[in-house]
Structure 1
Amino acid sequence: MHVINNKNTWILTTNNDFQDIDEQWFTQAYWMNQGRLLGANSGRGSAWVIKSEWGKWVLRHYFRGGLYAKLSKDSYFWTSLKNTRAYKEFQLLQKIHQLQLPSAKPIAALIRKSGLYYHNDLIMSHIKHQQTFADLLMANNQPIKTWQLIGKTIAQFHHHGIYHSDLNAHNILLAKPTDEHPVYLIDFDKGAIKNIKKTWRQENLNRLRRSIEKISERSCDSEFSIQWDGLLSSYQEHFS
């Protein structure tokens, strides 16, 4: 990780080629003026897809959720650089990339301190995929093989102690079943590396189950019982 500091602004990068990187890279206007802004993926905020000289990237601004969003939509209380959301996610994504696990590769991050608070942004590689798991849940066809691949992928992350704080169907991307990585996990904000013997692994799976049932309005005990059992069986098989 390379850290560029200019007063109360920090830029993190992974590539020495980015000698000219500055704060403009983290604004949609910069990419729009160059005709390189391709679109947006809406979520709590927006993740903008951009076409850089080095390939497709995703630019995400950190927005708050829940009750805190009513006080400030994107300001976070400052304690130190290493405790900022972007720094911790950037560092975790680096570790995930080193382990060759299927997720986005970190490109750069921006942290700007203003008084007692800070704002942050993150640029990651764009993952080529066909749909999200949430999209699949709305379809009639539910191939058990896909559910098994999802279970296998989650097990690979858990094997290395990679905790996903919001493991839901929207954060699981599905590529072609024949691709090297048919399943990707994304959005590791507030993620961490934890002791695999703790209860968080089951809590992760429980969170995913609630997400499946909420999005599809179908139960993992009845309508999706075969698929959910397949996901869990594959998870247990590949967790070691």
Structure 2
Amino acid sequence: MLKIEQHHNHYLLRTRHTPESLSSDWFDVAFWQRQNAVVTSKQGRAAAWFVRYASQQVAVLKHYWRGGLIGKVLKDQYLFTGLKNTRVYLELDLLTQLASLGLPVPTPLGARVTVSTGIYRADILTDAISGAQSLCERLQSAPLPSQDWQKVATTLARFHHAGAYHDDLNCNNILFDDQGKVYLIDFDKGALKTPAKEWHMANIERLARSLKKEASRSTQFFCTEQDWQSFIDTYQGAMTKKPA
């Protein structure tokens, strides 16, 4: 359940994990830069800023950007048809539900929706995953141990058993933390659905395409047919069992 705060030109969305001190300023990178609290950033279309909001806690701040041809024109502008229809509300609400199911996702901290003349822009804040390294980054540096492929497969099976649909399952959205636990991130356009083999397989095919794409543009990429078959075998075995 999200708590909604309405202000003059924006909404703040809070979860049960939201720090009490969270304010609209938290969604402006300049606010963190003034405090020398920006730890690092990842640039690109889906840029993310890592900011230290407490002595031992780092959050990931992301702005919503459009993709495709329309993104070249509207960039970060979306038609506002009600707060609960915004992409950020839907993602934050989904993350809250997934976290309550015990699934390994980033802890949702809050979001901001700024509205002006029927157009909205949005930002989301989640806890950073400690020592996170993506599946893609791991495969670019060394072969992945078979037990780690199995972790990815069984983790994905947990999400699928729960009906958790990921709209863009790729090797950059699968993370290992510093203890080797596997997480899924970036649930924009995701949903909770009735489990069905059709969309389960579509998820897996999308992951396969992303691995091939990264392999084609990396100077080294340690992913073999045997690795993939092991992943598929483990996933299929996990899907035949009742979730733990």
**TM-score, length-normalised on structure 1?**
0.91
| 1:10 alignment counterpart | 11
Provide the rounded CA distance (Å) in 1 between the counterparts of 2:28 and 2:63: 9
Residue 148 of structure 1, CA deviation:
1.3
Q: Which moved more, 1:90-99 or 1:126-135?
A: 126-135
Residue pairs, 1:94-113, within 5 angstroms: 94-113=96-115
> For the Cα contact (< 8 Å) 2:17–2:108, is it kept in 1?
no
Residues 174 and 18 (structure 1), Cα distance of their counterparts in 2 relative to 1, 3 Å cut? closer
Flag the 1:17–1:226 CA change in 2: closer, same or farther, 3 A. closer
What are the residue-to-residue correspondences of 1:132-211 with 2, within 5 Å?
Answer: 132-176=134-178, 179=179, 182-197=181-196, 199-211=198-210
Distance in 1 between the 2:79 and 2:138 partners?
Answer: 38
TM-score normalized with structure 2 length: 0.89
Aligned residue in 2 for 1:56: 58
> Is the deviation greater in 223-232 or in 156-165?
223-232
1:230 maps to a residue whose letter is S
Equivalent residues of 1:129, 1:173 under 8 A apart? no
Contact kept in structure 2, 1:74 and 1:119, CA below 8 Å? yes
How many matched pairs? 233
What is the deviation of 1:207?
Answer: 0.1
Shift of 1:197: 2.1
Q: CA deviation at 1:175?
A: 2.7
Residue segments in structure 2 that go unaligned for 5+ positions in a row: 218-222
Q: Which amino acid aligns with 1:235?
A: Y
Matched, 1:226 2:199: no
| 1:238 and 2:238 correspond | yes
Q: Note the residue ranges of structure 1 that are not aligned, 5 or more in a row.
A: none
Q: What is the Cα deviation at residue 169 of structure 1?
A: 0.4
Tell me the CA shift for residue 217 of structure 1.
2.7
Structure 2 residue 104 is the aligned partner of structure 1 residue 86:
no
**What secondary structure does 1:237 align onto?**
helix
Offset of residue 45 of structure 1: 3.3
- Quick one: structure 1 residues 16 and 41, their matched pair in 2 at CA, closer, same or farther if it must change by over 3 Å? closer
SS in 1 for 2:31: helix
CA offsets per residue over residues 53-75 of structure 1, 9 Å max, x none?
A: 27111111111111111111100
Q: CA deviation at 1:49?
A: 0.4
Cα 1:148/1:18, change in 2 over 3 Å: closer
Q: Kindly provide the CA deviation profile for residues 101-131 of structure 1, in whole angstroms up to 9, marking residues without a partner as x.
A: 1110110100011112100000000001352
Identity of aligned residues (%): 36
Corresponding letter in the other structure for 1:32: Q
**For residues 171 and 135 of structure 2, what CA distance do their matches in structure 1 show?**
5
State the 4+ residue runs in structure 1 displaced beyond 3 angstroms. 15-21
Matched position secondary structure for 2:168: coil
